[in-house]
Each structure stands twice: as C-alpha cells, then as structure tokens.
Amino acid sequence: MKKLSFLIAAVLLFAGIFIVGEMVTARINGVAPADNENVIPAIDNPAHDIPTPEEPVPVPEDTVVTVMAAGDIMFHYPQVVSAKTEDGGYDFSSPFEYIKDRVQGVDLAIANLETVIAGEGETPKGYPRFRSPREVLDGIKEAGFDILVTANNHSADRGRDGIIRTIEELENTQLEYIGTSRGEKRDYIIKEVKGIKIGILSYTFGLNGLESLLTPEELQNMVNLIDAERISTSISEARMNGAEVIIVYLHWGHEYHRDASDEQRSLAAFLSENGADLILGSHPHVVQEMDSINVKGKDIPVVYSMGNLLSNQRYETMGVSYTEDGLLVSMRVVKKWDTGEVLIEPLVPVPTWVYRWSKGSGKYGYRVIPVEDVLSGKLELELSPETTLRIQKSLGDTMNTLNGSN
C-alpha cells in the first residue's frame, strides 16, 4: 500500500514539473503550447490597445516677402571728397547709418544707382557726367540693398565702357542689377524670394543727349529705353517665364516738378492695364504723389517719384529744399496658401531727409534720416533748432505731396 501511494505521488510530481516547464517555455517564446488547457495564455500588453492622440494638423500660412524700394542714389563731387579716407581710399557707409536697420531688415531692397563706376586709375567726377569710386557700391551693399536699377539718364555718362565697367563692379560686389546690359538685351530679371518669383523691369526716358556715344545697336541693347509697347511685351515674357508679381521702375517725368506729368500718368495707366503690379518712379529728384489705378477691380499702386535718397542737391546748392526729401517705400508681397494668388498689400511710405553738416576743410557729413523717427524721439540726435525746423518742413512737404495737396 505504501508502495502504491509513493508511486502515485511520484507520477503527480513528474506531471507538475512537466506542466511548469511548459508554462516557462511558453512565456519565453511568447506563445502558449497548443491544446493544453492547463496553460494560461499570455495577455497582450494593455498599453498597446490605448489609442494614441493624433498629431495636430498644421494650419497652412500665407507666404510673405517684405520689400523696400528707394529713389535716386547720387554721388556729387562734394560727397566724394567728403568720403576720402586717410589711406587714400573711400568710405561711403556712413550716409546710410540711420536707415540700414530698416533696409537690412527686409527680404528684398531695391534702389536707383544714378552714376557710373570709375575704372582703375580713373579720376572720380560729379555732375554733369558722373563717374564714382567703386567703393560707393560697398556702402550701398553694406546698407542692405540687393538690387540696383541702372537705367537712368546717366547710364551712358562714360559711354559703352562705362556701362560694362559698372556691370562688372556690381557683379564683383554681388549686387544684382537691371536696366543695362553688356550687349544682349535684358529687359527684366526674376528674383525668387521665399518661393515667390518677383519680376523686376527698369527703363529710362533718355540719356541726356549722350545716345551718340553708343552705336545704334549698342543703344538698342545696352540701355533699356522707355517704349510702352516693348515694356508691355517684356511684362508678358516675364509672366510666361514664371514671374508671379511685376515691379516696373521708370526713370521719367520732369526734374524738380512735384506733380506727375500727363505723360507719366498716361504711361502708368497703360502699363497697369498690361500687367504691371507696381510702378515706382525716379528722376524728378523730388517726391511726387502716390496713386492707385484700378484695373478690373484690382488696384495697381504707383509712386510717381520717390525723390532723392542720397545726393548733394539741397537748398544751399540749388535754392530748392524739396531735393533734400525722399522716400523709402515699404511693402508686403503675399502669396495666399489656399489659392496661390500673389498680391501687394498697401504701400507704407517712410519719408527721409538728407542731413548735411560741415566737418571743416571743405568736407561734409551726410546722413539719410527717417524723419518721423527723429521727430518722435525714437532716433535721438543732437540737432540745432534750425535743423529740426528743416526736418519738420521736409515731413510736411512730403506728406502734402503724397496726399495730393501741394
């Protein structure tokens, strides 16, 4: 009897050891032995069954490109003399000291270069046939400008060689340009910024009677002269080549006239109807009015003249104070995320004034001043009461002109 009890106990012990072994093996392999009702199936990790929260879907945003445009940048001989350094070179960075933060702070900055660049060993010259040291480009580049328009009445001041040399120095300074070319006609450039393709065109009314310095073929190809039909064709070509917005710079109008001429208004209307999205003017050397031309429900902004950004033209030299005034025109170019439409939001004019003071020995200091910053105290300068009055007058004259109440 004892032997039988011992045998039963041994069988049960062996069976228990077998079952436990099977369970351990199942745990290790991640599966339960088939057809064994004594093994408890492994339970999946409950965490796998808890739904994870969905990632928030990002809301698309419009693409915005900030643009700033300026009028005439000129270098009369007193400016050149005043920029001479002790080592025999030139420094033209200081005139832009108080505007460079604004210019550098935008995505694209454009201005009119109204001079020709001197070659090695050539003496700088002022009015009437400009030839400026190449260092003027360094100052402009340092100020934050990206593109210079080169079609103006001084483009041919030094003939064919002057045009080519200016282009070479612009390229050496890594400044883009439009308005002149080495020989092959170049009516527009397309600048892509943040995925928006901006077409820029530049034309001038003439060359101060110096057209004869170029052959007929050179005149046709090297300087963009105003021709309404040709500009319209170039706008269409720029569109076909991907330009989503078109900016046209025009060197036009009558010098020192504060009101746009009938010819300016007529050309602006024609170009607005033929694809221009924005028209910016230079040459009068004074600020002229801003306008908006409605074409099929779309407003095309026009600034007939942005005046002088920098020059030596002023009351003391010309008896005209309006030549001291200029504009930085700020704007936002917006591409809508849902429709792909590209539009230009309302322009924001920033009035400027050229501050000049004597430094002795026939030299002057020059600064382009954002006048509202000075008058509001945002830009603190030590100015005489007389200078402050001139700045106040400048702001009043500019705003009256822009509002059409000269």
How does pLDDT run across 308-330, given as a tens digit for each residue?
A: 999 999 999 999 999 999 999 99
Mean pLDDT, rounded, of the chain: 90
DSSP letter, residue 49: G
DSSP letter, residue 43: P
pLDDT band at 44 (very low <50, low <70, confident <90, very high): low
Q: What is the DSSP string of 170-200?
A: HHHTT-EEESB-SSS---EEEEEETTEEEEE
What gap in Å lies between CA 362 and CA 77, rounded to an integer? 11
What is the identity of the amino acid at 270? F
pLDDT at residue 54, as a whole number = 75
Residue that has been written with the tokens 């007058």 in this structure: 393
DSSP letter, residue 64: E
pLDDT at residue 55, as a whole number = 78
What gap in Å lies between CA 337 and CA 60, rounded to an integer? 6
Render pLDDT for 267-278 as a digit per residue (tens, 0 to 9).
999 999 999 999
pLDDT at residue 169, as a whole number = 98
pLDDT at residue 307, as a whole number = 98
pLDDT band at 405 (very low <50, low <70, confident <90, very high): confident
383-397 in b/e form (b: 16+ CB < 10 A) is eeeebeebbebbbeb
Which whole number is the average pLDDT over 43-68?
75
Peptide bond into 128 cis (omega under 30): yes
What gap in Å lies between CA 403 and CA 385, rounded to an integer? 27
- Express as a percent the part of the chain with pLDDT over 90: 84
Domains and CATH numbers, the chain: 63-402 (3.60.21.10)
pLDDT band at 59 (very low <50, low <70, confident <90, very high): confident
Render pLDDT for 236-262 as a digit per residue (tens, 0 to 9).
999 999 999 999 999 999 999 999 999
pLDDT at residue 34, as a whole number = 46
Cite the DSSP H helix spans in 43-94: 77-82
Which residues, including other chains, have CB under 8 Å from residue 185's CB and lie 6 or more apart?
220, 221
Which pair of structure tokens corresponds to residue 260?
A: 């746009």
What gap in Å lies between CA 148 and CA 95, rounded to an integer? 17
pLDDT at residue 343, as a whole number = 96
Whether pLDDT at 138 is above 60: yes
Which pair of structure tokens corresponds to residue 373?
A: 């910053």
Which pair of structure tokens corresponds to residue 261?
A: 């001429």
CB 76 within 8 A of CB 316: no
pLDDT at residue 300, as a whole number = 98
Q: What is the pTM of this model?
A: 0.86
What gap in Å lies between CA 243 and CA 333, rounded to an integer? 13
- Express as a percent the part of the chain with pLDDT over 70: 87
